[in-house]
Amino acid sequence: MSLTIWHNPRCTKSRETLELLRSRGIEPTIREYLKQPPSKAEVETLIGQLGGDPTALIRDGEPEFKKLGKKKANLSRADIAKVIAAAPILLQRPVVVSGKRAVIGRPPEAVLALVK
């Protein structure tokens, strides 16, 4: 099984999710998205892999989001991809991807749905 974690090592939930995977014997590919920012197309793909409400992928409590002067609920899928590509700190983390599916690791145990 090949998993990729979109990881921020400064984030507690991201570290907990990585440790949870490792405790299950899974060593995911680690993508530090702040060092390797995603393109708009990559974020659009990620939104599709997550399914559901695309606004779940954006962190609206960050100062970078507040500068936009917009409400999360009013952002389209394309807006979300553009905003995250421009300011990757706004990506909800961690995100774990397996094939065509992805899950946000909040709580970390949510990612276990990908490894069953």
> Which sign does the torsion angle of CA 103, 43, 59, 77 carry?
negative
Of 8, 10, 11, 69, the catalytic one is 11
Name the residue with tokens 């014997």: 25
Distances (CA, A) of 103 to 2, 38, 81, 93: 14, 17, 17, 10
| Active-site annotation holds for 58 | no
Distances (CA, A) of 87 to 13, 29, 46, 65: 20, 22, 16, 9
Catalytic positions are 11
